[in-house]
Amino acid sequence: MSDIARPVSTYRSLLPFTTTAPVRDAAYSNSLPRHSPYKDFATQLDAFDRDPSKFPNWGTTKPTDILHDASSDTMPRNNAFIRVKDNKIQPIVMQGLMQYTSAIFFFDHLVRLTSTQPMNGSVLRYPRQKGWIGKEGKDKTGKNNVIKALKETKSLITNFISNCNAPSTLLLSTSSAPSETTDPILTLANEIVTSGKVSQAFAHCKNIAVIAFNIRIMSEAPGYLQIPDNVQDLDVSLTSEHSDSLLVVMSQASIKHLRLAFLLAVVITPLVVLVPFDLTTMSICIEETLLNAKRLGNQKPPGVRKLEDEVWREILAVAEGKKTAFSAMMGLKAHFVSTNAPAHLTTADLEFF
C-alpha cells in the first residue's frame, strides 16, 4: 500500500493541512505510532481516499467525481450536484464533504500531535485571510455566537477558568451555614451569579465530551469516517449500563449536531470547547464552515497553536478512556492557570480569530 501512488485530488491538495501526511503516498496508518488507537480509523480513511467508489454515493453524486481528478482538466468533473433553483450544493453532497473533510483534518491533527517520525517535504502555506464568511455558530436566540466568542480569545480563557472554579465554590457555599454578618441579599446574588457560571462549566464539559465521543466512535473497529447513522452499526452492547444514554445521544436529531460540533473543532479550532454554551445547539452552515477553514489557513500564531494542541491532548485523553470530560476540563483549567496562558497571548494570537 505504501508504494501505491495516491490518486490526484485538487480538493485534497488545496486543504490547509499542518503536516504532509494526508497528501503522501504512504498508507495513512503508517504515519501514526505503532500502537496508536487510531489505526483502524486511519486505514478506513485511507481506503476511502484511494477509492471512494467502494463507499456509498452522496445521493446521486459519486464522491470520486468531486474528490479525484483522474484525467479531467477541470474539477469538479460536472456540476450535477449544484441545485438549479439557488445555485447551491445539494445538502447530501455537503454532508459527504463534511464527512471526508472532518476525517482528513482530524487525521492531520493526529499526526501532528502523536507522530514521532519526520515528514519529508513542506505543506502549502495558507496565510490567514481577513474576515469570516457568513454568520454561522449562533443558537436559536441569536445571543450565543461561536465566532464572536473566539474573537475575544483572552476573555474566552479567563472566563473558562472562572467557570471551572464555580462548581466547587457553589458546593462550598451551600454546605456551610449562612454568614450572620453578610446581608442575605448579597449572598443570594452571589449564588445566582455562581450558579450561572456552573451551568456554563457544564456546557464546557459537554462540549469536550461531544468531541471526544465523535473521536471514540471513529476509532472503533473497523474504523469510521464519522458517527454512523444508526446505533445498531456500532459493536456496543445495548443491554449494558448507560445504554439508554447512548440511544438518546445517537438519536437521528442528535447525530447531526454531534457531527457539526466535531466539524467546528477539527476545521476551525478545538478552542470551541471553551465557549460557555452548548455547541450542539448552534446553527452551523457546513459550506460556510469549510470556506472559513480555508480563510483561517494553516499559519496560526504559535500561541494559538499551543493552546489548541493542549486542548486536543485533553480531548484525546477522554476519547481514549484515560480521563472523564470533567477531569479533562479541570486539567485544562489547571494548565491555563499554571502557565498564566492569558498573559502570554501576543497581539498576533489575540487578533488571529
Q: What is the pLDDT of residues 228-265, one digit of tens each?
A: 998 888 877 777 777 888 888 988 678 999 999 999 99
For 86-126, write each residue's pLDDT tens digit.
Answer: 888 999 999 999 999 999 999 999 999 998 877 667 899 99
For 175-189, write each residue's pLDDT tens digit.
Answer: 555 666 777 777 677
At residue 173, the pLDDT reads 62
Query: In percent, how much of the chain has pLDDT > 70?
Result: 92
- Label residue 46 by pLDDT band (50, 70, 90): very high
Least confident piece of the model among 133-142, 198-207, 304-313, 323-332: 133-142
Name which residue leads in pLDDT, 2 or 214.
214
- Label residue 1 by pLDDT band (50, 70, 90): very low
Average pLDDT, the chain: 90
Least confident piece of the model among 73-77, 138-142, 297-301, 310-314: 138-142
SS in 3 state form for the chain?
CCCCCCCCCHHHHCCCCCCCHHHCCCCHHHHCCCCCCCHHHHHHHHHHHHCHHHCCCECCECHHHHHCCCCCCCCCCCCCCECCCCCCECHHHHHHHHHHHHHHHHHHHHHHHHCCCCCCCCCCCCCCCCCCCCCCCECCCCCCEHHHHHHCHHHHHHHHHHHHHHHHHHHHHHHCCCCCCCCHHHHHHHHHHHHHHHHHHHHHHHHHHHHHHHHHHHHCCCCCCCCCCCHHHCCCCCCCCCHHHHHHHCCHHHHHHHHHHHHHHHHHCHHHHHCCCCHHHCECCHHHHHHHHHHHCCCCCHHHHHHHHHHHHHHHHHHCCCCCHHHHHHHHHHHHHHCCHHHHCCHHHHHHC
Name which residue leads in pLDDT, 218 or 166.
218
- Label residue 131 by pLDDT band (50, 70, 90): very high
At residue 140, the pLDDT reads 63
